[in-house]
Structure 1
Amino acid sequence: MTGPGGSTKWLVGFTCLLGIFMEVLDTSVANVALSNIQGSFAAGTDEVTWVITSYLVANAVILPITGWLGNFFGRKRLYLTCLAIFTLASLGSGAAQSLSFLILMRVIQGLAGGAMVPLSQAITFEAFPSEEQGYAAAIYGIGAICGPILGPLLGGWITDNWSWPWIFYINIPVGLVAFVAAMTFVKDPSYLERPKGKVDYWSLLFIAVGLGCLELFLNRGERYDWLASPVVQVFLGLAALGIALFIWRSLTAENPLVDLRIFALPEFSGGMALIFVAGMGMYGTFICVPIFVQTFLRFTPTWAGIVLAPAGACSMLAMALAGFLVGKVHVRILVGAGFASMSAGVWFLTRISLATDVAFLALAMCMFGFGMGLVLVPIGSESIRRIPPQLVGTATGMFNLMRNEGGSVGIALCTTVLAQRAQFHHARIAEHVTAFNPELQHRGVALVRGFFPRAGLDPASMPGLAAGLVGAEVNRQSYLLSFIDIFAFLAASLAVALPLVLLMRHFRSDGGHRPMLH
C-alpha cells in the first residue's frame, strides 16, 4: 500500500489527529466534573456515573464493526458523518437540561467517537507509504496517549474556572476545523468496495450484547461487589454468551460484519494481546497516580494532571524516535524495550511514601511514558502490516477495541485491588495497635501534645484523641500499602507480557505490499 505522499499525508494525519484527540479526551475529561454535574441535576452518585459508563459502552459496541461500516458507506463519508454527529452531541451534552438527556447525548457521542478513532487510524495509515508507517502510527499514538493524560487536567481546569458544560463545548471549534479539513484533504482509496450481500444483523446484535454487557460488568462490578450481585452475574453471563455467539457467527456467516481471519496472522494476534496489556497498564496507572496524589499528598486536580504531563512529553519524544526506527530496528527490540521501560516506571512507583515529592513522580512518569511511545508505534504499524487493504478498517477497529478493553480491565482491577488490599493491610497493622500497648499510648499522647500544645485539654481526654489520630494514620498507611501493591501488580503484568513480543514480525522499511489472506 502506498499513500499519496508529499505534504498531503501530513495534512491528512493532522486532520485525523484532531478526531482521535477529541474522542480519547472525552473518555476522561468528564471524570473530574462528575460532582458538579451531580449537583446541577440533584442526582445520586450511582446515577451520575452513567455519564461515563454510557460513553464507554457505546464505544465498545461500535469499534469492532467500524471496518464494515467504512467499507459500506465509504471511509470519508462515514468519518465526516461521525465528526458532525460527535460535534452536535457535544453541543447537546453541554446544553442538557436533564441528566437523562445528557446520558443520551453521551451515548451518541460514544457511538460517533468510537467509530471515528479506527477510521482516523485507517485513513492515516492509507495516507502514508508503507516505508513511513511508523510516522502514521506515531500520529495516532499522540492522540491515544495524550488524550487520557490531558483529560483530567483540562476537565479540572475548565470546571474550576468556567463551568462543566464547557468540557463539552470545547469540542465544537475543534470538530468544525476537523470537518473542514477532512472535506478538503481526505480521499477514499480506489480499492475500497461496498460489502456484498445482506447485512448480518445477528452479528450486530451479538456484539452489541456481548461487548455492551462486558463494559457494564467491568465498570459497575466493583460498585456492586462483583459476583456477589445478581445484576453483575447477569452482565457477565450475557457478555460471555454474546461474545461467544458473535465469534461463532463471524466464522460461519457468508458475509460477516467482522472478518476474524486477520487473527490468523501471528503478528496481528500477538499485537492485539500486547496492546491489551499496554492499555491495562496505561489506564491503570493514569487512574491510580492522580487518586494517590490528590488523596494523600493533597494535590489539587490541576497539579494531579501536571504530575502526568512528563509521561505525555516523553511519550511524544519516544513516538518520534520509534516512527523513525520502525523498519530499521527489529520490532521486537523496540516493543521489548518499551514494555521494559513501562514496567520499570511503574515499579519505581512502588517506592512511594506519604512524603513523596513531585520530582520522584515525574521521573517515574518519564520512564513510563517513554515506554508507552516505544510500544504503541511499532505495534500499531507492524501488527497490521500484512493485513489486506480492504480489511485495514477492521484491523484498526480491533486494535482500538483491545486497547479500550485492556484499559477497562486495568481500571476495574486497580479499584478492586485498592479496596481489598486496604482492608487486608488495615487488619495486619491493627494487630499491633491495641489499647494494651503502653508504648503506643505514650507516643499517642505525645502526638496529641505535639498537635495541640496549647489546647488546654483535660489529660483524661488525651488518650481518646490520640486513638483517633492513630486510627486515621492506620487508614492512611493501609491505603499507601495497597497503592504499592497495585503498582507492583501492574509492573509484573507488563513484564509478564514480554514473551508475547516474540510473536511480532519484523518488516524492512522497504517491505512493500501486504499479501492477501486466504
Structure 2
Amino acid sequence: MTAQPAAAPTPHPFTLRLALGLVGVLIAALTSGLNDRVTDIALADIRAAIGVSYDQGSWIVSSYQAAEVAAMMIAPWFAVTFSLRRFSLAVSTGFMLCGILLPLAPSPGSFIALRVLQGVFGGSLPPMLMTVALRFLPPPLKLYGLGGYALTATFGPNMAASLAAFWTDDVSWMFIFWQVVPLMLIAMLLFGWGLPQDPLRLERFKQIDLFGMLTGCSGMALLVLGLTQGERLDWFDSPAIAAMLLAAAPLLLVFLINEWFHPLPLFRLQMLSRRNLAHGLLALAAVLVVSLSGSALPSAYFGQVEGFRTLQFAPLALTVGLPQLLIAPLVAALLNIRWIDCRWVLAAGVALLIAACLLGMQITSDWARQNFWTLQILQAFGQPMVILPILMSATSVVAPPEGPFASAMFNTVRGFSSVAASVLVEVFLSHREKIHSNILLDQAASRPWLMSAPSSAEASASRPLLMDGSVSSSENLSGFATLVKHQAIVLSLSDSWLLLIAFAALLLLLTAWLPKRVWPPQTLIQPASSTSRK
C-alpha cells in the first residue's frame, strides 16, 4: 500500500484570537520544560520530602525523561487525528492533574508512576508548539514563531534554577509541582479559545502505525533509561543496563525500517534526503551539547567547589535566560532580512559559544561569580543565533502538510539529545575528575610542598599539588583531601569546555558542508524545493 498524499490544512486568517491561541501553546510548552528541569534541580529536596534514597530518587528523573521523549515521537500523529485543539487541551489537563496529585502520592512507587504519566503528557506539548507555528503563522511572522519554540531550549532551562531555589528555600517543595497549575490554566484558556477547531480524522486509525509506536517508543524509552542509569549502575557490568541497551538497539532499528515503508508513518524518513532538514537535525543535537557550557558546567563548579546552594548561583543562569525574551525576536528580525544568509548568523553564534568555552577553560579554584559574567553574556547571544538559523533552514524545505512529520522528528531528536548531552558531560566530568585526582595524589606523594593550584589539564602534569608541611599529618589530611577534590573538579571542568569546543567545531563543519542557502519565509521567489538548491 502506498502512502496517500497529505491534504493541506485549511488556511486560517491570522487574527488576534489565533495569536493568543499560539501564545497559550507557547506557555504550555515552556511550562512542560520548566517542570522537567526544576524537578531535576530540586531532586534532593524531593527525595527528602517523600523519603526515598538516592538510588530510588534517580528513577524520578529517568522515568520522566524516558516517557517524555517517547511521547514526542507520537504526539503529532494524535494531534492530527484528534485535532490540535482537542489534543492540546487533553494533554494539558492531564499534565496539570498529575502536577496536583504528585505531592499527595501515598508512596514512592505511586509517585514515580504519576511522574511517568506526567512525562507522557509533558512530552506531548513541545511538538504542538512547532506544529502550530508551521501551520498557522503567516510567512512574515513564521520566524518569530520559531523563535518562541527556540525559547523552550534557551529560556526555560536557564530559568529553572531560580524557580527551584525559590520554591524549595522560601515556600514548599510541593510547589515544585503545583507551580504548573496557574500556568496551564492560562495556557488552556488561551489556546482553547484561540486555536481553530479542526474536524476529527478518525479514519487515520485504519492506517495507524501501531507497530512503529510500540517498537519506537519502547526502544527510545529503554535507551533513555539505560543512558541515565548507566553510570550509577556501572554500565554493562549491570545486567539491567545491558538488557536495556541491547534491547533498545534492535527495537529502534526495526522502527526505522518500518517507518520507511509504512503508508502513514510517525517519521517520514524520506524527508531526510533534503539536505537542510538533515543538517537541522544533526546541528540541533550538536548545539544542545554545546549549550551545556552555559548551564551545567557553571552549576557543577558552584555546587561542588564553592559549595553553593542553588539560590546562590541561580542569578547567573538568569543572565542567559532572561535576555532571550529580547534577543530571540531580534535574531528573528535579522534573519527576516533577505540579503542575510542564515548560515553566517549560525556561524557567528557558534563563534560566540566557542569564545565562551575558551574563556571557561581558564577556570581556576579562585573563580567567583563575576568571572562567569562574560561567559554567560556570550552564551545569551550565541544560543539563539545558533538555534534560530537551524530552525529556519530546516523548516524552509518542509511543506505545511509535512509539519507533523518534521515536528515529530525534531522534538524526538531534541528530547533525546538533551538527555544524551547531560549524560555525556556528567560521565566525562566524573571520569576526568578521577584521572586528575590520581595525578595530583601522585605528585603530592613525590613532592609534598605547597605550590599554586594548576589552572588547566596541561598544568597538572608539571605543577604538583602540595600542602604546607607533611601531607601525612593528621591535621592536614582532611584539608588535603578537599583540596585535591576541588582541584580535580576544576581541571575536569576545563577539559569539559574543551570537549564542547570539539562539538562546536563539528557544528561549523556540518554547516559549511551540508545546508544550502535559504531565504526568509515571506520572500516570494521560487518554490522551496528549488530554492534550497541555490
SS in 1 for 2:204: coil
Q: Does 1:477 align with 2:482?
A: no
The answer on whether the counterparts of 1:388 and 1:516 sit within 8 Å (CA) in structure 2 is: no
The one of 63, 68, 72 aligned to 2:72: 63
Q: Does 1:490 align with 2:467?
A: no
For 2:424, the equivalent position in structure 1 comes to 413
Q: Does 1:259 align with 2:268?
A: yes
The one of 10, 14, 25 aligned to 1:5: 14
Please identify, of 124-133 and 145-154, the stretch whose mean Cα deviation from structure 2 is larger.
124-133
For 1:360, the equivalent position in structure 2 comes to 371
For 1:339, the equivalent position in structure 2 comes to 350
For 1:403, the equivalent position in structure 2 comes to 414
The one of 439, 444, 449 aligned to 1:433: 444
Q: Which amino acid aligns with 1:315?
A: Q
Taking a change above 3 Å as real, the CA distance of residues 77 and 381 of structure 1, as seen in their structure-2 partners, is farther
Q: Does 1:322 align with 2:322?
A: no
Q: Which amino acid aligns with 2:272?
A: F
The one of 398, 401, 426 aligned to 1:387: 398
Shift of 1:9: 4.9
Shift of 1:510: 2.8
Shift of 1:162: 1.8
The answer on whether the counterparts of 2:349 and 2:381 sit within 8 Å (CA) in structure 1 is: yes
Shift of 1:229: 2.3
Per-residue CA deviations over 1:283-309 (Å, capped at 9, x if unaligned) read: 464222212112212332112221111
- Flag structure 2 segments of 5+ consecutive residues without an equivalent: 1-7, 452-463
The answer on whether the counterparts of 2:80 and 2:201 sit within 8 Å (CA) in structure 1 is: yes
For 2:460, the equivalent position in structure 1 comes to none
Q: Which amino acid aligns with 2:91?
A: C
TM-score between the two structures when normalised by the length of structure 2: 0.88
The answer on whether the counterparts of 1:444 and 1:467 sit within 8 Å (CA) in structure 2 is: no
Q: CA RMSD in A?
A: 2.6
The answer on whether the counterparts of 1:343 and 1:492 sit within 8 Å (CA) in structure 2 is: no
The answer on whether the counterparts of 2:72 and 2:124 sit within 8 Å (CA) in structure 1 is: yes
The answer on whether the counterparts of 2:437 and 2:488 sit within 8 Å (CA) in structure 1 is: yes
Q: Which amino acid aligns with 2:413?
A: M
Taking a change above 3 Å as real, the CA distance of residues 225 and 342 of structure 1, as seen in their structure-2 partners, is same
SS in 1 for 2:364: coil
Alignment of 1:33-112 (within 5 A): 33-112=42-121
SS in 2 for 1:11: helix
Q: How many residue pairs align between the two structures?
A: 503
Please identify, of 167-176 and 372-381, the stretch whose mean Cα deviation from structure 2 is larger.
372-381
- CA distance in 2 between counterparts of 1:255 and 1:91 reads 36
Q: Which amino acid aligns with 1:389?
A: P
For 1:239, the equivalent position in structure 2 comes to 248
The answer on whether the counterparts of 1:382 and 1:504 sit within 8 Å (CA) in structure 2 is: yes
- CA distance in 1 between counterparts of 2:293 and 2:201 reads 38
For 2:459, the equivalent position in structure 1 comes to none
SS in 2 for 1:497: helix
- CA distance in 1 between counterparts of 2:447 and 2:297 reads 37
Shift of 1:357: 2.3
- CA distance in 2 between counterparts of 1:98 and 1:191 reads 39
Taking a change above 3 Å as real, the CA distance of residues 189 and 351 of structure 1, as seen in their structure-2 partners, is farther
The answer on whether the counterparts of 2:85 and 2:191 sit within 8 Å (CA) in structure 1 is: yes
- Flag structure 1 segments of 5+ consecutive residues without an equivalent: 449-461
Taking a change above 3 Å as real, the CA distance of residues 514 and 148 of structure 1, as seen in their structure-2 partners, is farther
Taking a change above 3 Å as real, the CA distance of residues 326 and 192 of structure 1, as seen in their structure-2 partners, is farther
- CA distance in 2 between counterparts of 1:343 and 1:147 reads 22
The answer on whether the counterparts of 1:280 and 1:408 sit within 8 Å (CA) in structure 2 is: no
The one of 423, 426, 430 aligned to 2:434: 423
SS in 1 for 2:36: coil
Shift of 1:126: 2.4
SS in 2 for 1:4: coil
Q: Which amino acid aligns with 1:162?
A: V
Taking a change above 3 Å as real, the CA distance of residues 143 and 407 of structure 1, as seen in their structure-2 partners, is closer
For 1:507, the equivalent position in structure 2 comes to 519
TM-score between the two structures when normalised by the length of structure 1: 0.91
Shift of 1:516: 8.2
Taking a change above 3 Å as real, the CA distance of residues 76 and 486 of structure 1, as seen in their structure-2 partners, is same
Shift of 1:514: 6.4
Q: State percent identity of aligned pairs.
A: 21
